[in-house]
């Protein structure tokens, strides 16, 4: 379970990649839809949580008609880094962004030369679109108070492999809120707003009336305003995004049936704050406004599935569903008020290095490509793995400088007995703390005042018993593996690749000299 003998390792890899030819030579490449929710915990899907206080029938359908990955992980426990990893197959901490998230306006974390899911699929005959929340940085024209919205937005999804974009720049609390289509906002964000009270949850709302200046917002609400368009209202996001996604897919349906498949990335804004379900969902479930918002989210997933059936695209469309991290801190109050556990049986939530921060719902449904649907896969997989997985599905080969932390699990689709074994998987907290998992073991690295921790997840999924004193050999082996993965610039076999920076303070278990030596190809 720890360090496999070399010969056996080679055999595992050979067996795992046997289905490549079968997938690549399929009669037609599948359409691909990736639906990505925001702050949805493992326990916020009723098929994963029998005691959930609301039902998610469409998520349950994805699981029942596909594969339910019960040990799947986002790459970080907050938004920006998880989205970077999902789209690039590379851990975000390899970039200059080591902690936290970006604002709405920032240099995009994805460089123009880096391969993404969109650019890889585009280059393999796909039409590509993104509809929803970006949160990876955009370059807006001018500066706050001196914008020229007649000029195009730069360094954004259309520069990263997507041919169509409709959505918003970041989380709603970061401003520059408008309905952007292509490089322009249909109605520019020329007004200003601050957060307003929310009578359905503990958070806030983004609704009119808006003010003409940030200072006026401060006078009205007591906080400096952020940019917003006159027609922007927070509770329209899910409906608008789903409408635009269906509209775009409708325009590509004929071509898809003719052998020109499409890729849609659909990152919803829910159930991230503001929790703002439409009135038609009020009163549904037994978990207050939060449950209503997840129910609404599930409703829109159902609209996507209904469209696929009605358009005749259902059988050969691969739908992947997951969340960018665990639930926001209000998960604690939901336990008290409703006895609902958004993190399921796991410890912690958003921002944490513990399982509740990064073990998330993950389902895949593909009628033409998944054998024995309705099954579970309980071995490790990561969202970084989507790039390599989709590349294998379409018969593409990743270059050495792409998808460095992406390992294909495509064999799992067609082979319920697949020998696929995930290489060590690294998790990362918002504050920069690291963890590594392999098999049943998880090692959480020391960080500032926090000491090293070791858990056996198969016996203790709630991470309640630190076994570091009993299993020093296990910890030492995992420490060496995470050190090698960090320093080599990649998880997967192949030529070492550079990280974007030198040693940084969160690598508390690696001395700067060792990092430099090993990163440059020196021996451990």
What the chain holds in terms of domains, given with CATH numbers, is 29-414 (3.40.720.10), 433-519 (3.30.1120)
In the structure, what pLDDT confidence band is assigned to residue 11 with cuts at 50, 70 and 90?
very low
Using the predicted structure, report yes or no on whether residue 24 has a pLDDT greater than 50: no
Cα–Cα distance between 468 and 481 in angstroms, integer?
16
* 118 in Cβ contact with 263 (< 8 Å): yes
| Buried-state track 1-39, b at ≥16 Cβ within 10 A, e below 16 | eeeeeeeeeeeeeeebeebbeebeebeebbbbbbbbbbb
At residue 28, the pLDDT reads: 86
At residue 10, the pLDDT reads: 39
Cα–Cα distance between 366 and 372 in angstroms, integer?
11
At residue 324, the pLDDT reads: 98
Residue 341 to residues 291, 311, 336, 455, 465: CA-CA distances in angstroms? Answer: 11, 37, 10, 21, 20
433 closest CA partner among 2, 53, 33, 77? 77
Using the predicted structure, report yes or no on whether residue 158 has a pLDDT greater than 90: yes
Q: What average pLDDT does this structure show over 344-348? A: 98
Using the predicted structure, report yes or no on whether residue 149 has a pLDDT greater than 70: yes
* 205 in Cβ contact with 236 (< 8 Å): no
Tens of pLDDT, residues 170-197 = 999 999 999 999 999 999 999 999 999 9
At residue 220, the pLDDT reads: 85
Residue 481 to residues 91, 225, 237, 432, 496: CA-CA distances in angstroms? Answer: 15, 47, 42, 18, 14
E strand segments, 173-238: 180-181, 184-185, 191-193, 226-228
Helices (H), 258-385: 288-311, 331-338, 355-358
Using the predicted structure, report yes or no on whether residue 22 has a pLDDT greater than 70: no
In the structure, what pLDDT confidence band is assigned to residue 2 with cuts at 50, 70 and 90?
very low
Which residues, 6 or more positions from 513, have their beta carbon under 8 angstroms from its beta carbon? none
Cα–Cα distance between 362 and 321 in angstroms, integer?
6
At residue 519, the pLDDT reads: 95
Using the predicted structure, report yes or no on whether residue 349 has a pLDDT greater than 70: yes
3-state DSSP call for residue 266?
strand
At residue 18, the pLDDT reads: 42
At residue 524, the pLDDT reads: 64
19 closest CA partner among 345, 395, 287? 395
At residue 427, the pLDDT reads: 98
Using the predicted structure, report yes or no on whether residue 296 has a pLDDT greater than 80: yes
Cα–Cα distance between 284 and 57 in angstroms, integer?
13
Q: What average pLDDT does this structure show over 45-72? A: 98
- Show the tokens assigned to 242: 């789903």
Q: What average pLDDT does this structure show over 200-213? A: 96
At residue 223, the pLDDT reads: 85
* 355 in Cβ contact with 71 (< 8 Å): no
At residue 224, the pLDDT reads: 85
Comparison of pLDDT for 26 and 498, the residue scoring more? 498
HSE value, Cβ hemisphere, 13 Å, CA-based, for 238: 27
Which residues, 6 or more positions from 417, have their beta carbon under 8 angstroms from its beta carbon? none
For residue 274, say if its preceding peptide bond is cis, omega within 30 degrees of 0. yes
Using the predicted structure, report yes or no on whether residue 165 has a pLDDT greater than 80: yes
Determine whether 509 is exposed, middle or buried from the number of CB atoms within 10 Å of its CB (0-12, 13-18, 19+).
middle
In the structure, what pLDDT confidence band is assigned to residue 521 with cuts at 50, 70 and 90?
confident
The DSSP element (H or E) to which 376 belongs, if any, is strand 375-377
Cα–Cα distance between 427 and 389 in angstroms, integer?
19
Cα–Cα distance between 489 and 51 in angstroms, integer?
41
Using the predicted structure, report yes or no on whether residue 522 has a pLDDT greater than 80: no
Tens of pLDDT, residues 424-462 = 999 999 999 999 999 999 999 999 999 999 999 999 999
In the structure, what pLDDT confidence band is assigned to residue 285 with cuts at 50, 70 and 90?
very high
């Amino acid at each position: 379970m720890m360090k496999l003998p070399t010969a056996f390792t080679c055999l595992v890899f050979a067996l795992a990649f046997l289905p490549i030819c079968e997938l690549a030579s399929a009669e037609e490449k599948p359409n691909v839809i990736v639906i990505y929710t925001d702050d949805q915990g493992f326990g916020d899907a009723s098929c994963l949580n029998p005691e959930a206080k609301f039902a998610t029938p469409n998520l349950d359908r994805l699981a029942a008609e596909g594969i339910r990955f019960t040990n799947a992980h986002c790459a970080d426990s907050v938004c920006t880094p998880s989205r970077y990893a999902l789209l690039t197959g590379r851990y975000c901490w390899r970039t200059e962004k080591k902690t936290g998230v970006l604002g709405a306006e920032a240099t995009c974390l994805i460089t123009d030369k880096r391969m993404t899911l969109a650019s890889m699929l585009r280059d393999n005959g796909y039409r590509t679109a993104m509809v929803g929340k970006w949160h990876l940085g955009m370059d807006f024209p001018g500066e706050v108070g001196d914008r020229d919205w007649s000029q195009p937005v730069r360094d954004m999804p259309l520069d990263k492999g997507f041919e169509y974009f409709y959505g918003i720049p970041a989380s709603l609390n970061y401003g520059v809120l408008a309905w952007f289509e292509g490089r322009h906002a249909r109605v520019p964000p020329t007004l200003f707003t601050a957060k307003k009270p929310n009578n359905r949850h503990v958070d806030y709302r983004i609704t009119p009336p808006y003010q003409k200046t940030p200072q006026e917002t401060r006078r009205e609400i007591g906080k400096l305003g952020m940019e917003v368009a006159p027609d922007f209202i927070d509770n329209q996001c899910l409906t608008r995004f789903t409408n635009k996604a269906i509209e775009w897919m409708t325009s590509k349906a004929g071509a898809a049936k003719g052998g020109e498949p499409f890729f849609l990335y659909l990152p919803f804004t829910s159930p991230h704050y503001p929790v703002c379900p439409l009135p038609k969902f009020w009163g549904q479930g037994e978990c207050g406004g939060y449950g209503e918002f997840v129910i609404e989210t599930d409703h829109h997933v159902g609209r996507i599935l209904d469209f696929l059936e009605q358009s005749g695209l259902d059988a050969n469309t691969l739908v992947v569903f997951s969340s960018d991290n665990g639930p926001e801190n209000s998960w604690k109050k939901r336990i008290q008020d409703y006895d609902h556990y958004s993190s399921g049986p796991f410890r912690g939530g958003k921002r944490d290095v513990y399982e509740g921060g990064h073990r998330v719902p993950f389902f895949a449904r593909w009628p033409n490509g998944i054998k024995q649907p309705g099954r579970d896969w309980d071995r490790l997989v990561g969202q970084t793995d989507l790039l390599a997985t989709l590349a294998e599905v379409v018969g593409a080969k990743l270059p050495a400088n792409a998808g460095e932390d992406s390992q294909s699990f495509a064999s799992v689709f067609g082979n319920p007995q697949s020998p696929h074994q995930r290489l060590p998987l690294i998790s990362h907290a918002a504050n920069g703390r690291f963890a590594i998992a392999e098999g049943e073991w998880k090692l959480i690295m020391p960080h500032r005042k926090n000491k090293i921790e070791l858990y056996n997840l198969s016996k203790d999924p709630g991470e309640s018993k630190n076994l570091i004193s009993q299993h020093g050999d296990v910890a030492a082996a995992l420490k060496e593996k995470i050190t090698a993965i960090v320093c080599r610039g990649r998880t997967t076999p192949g030529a070492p690749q550079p990280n974007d920076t030198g040693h940084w303070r969160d690598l508390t278990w690696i001395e700067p000299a060792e990092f430099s030596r090993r990163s440059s190809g020196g021996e451990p």
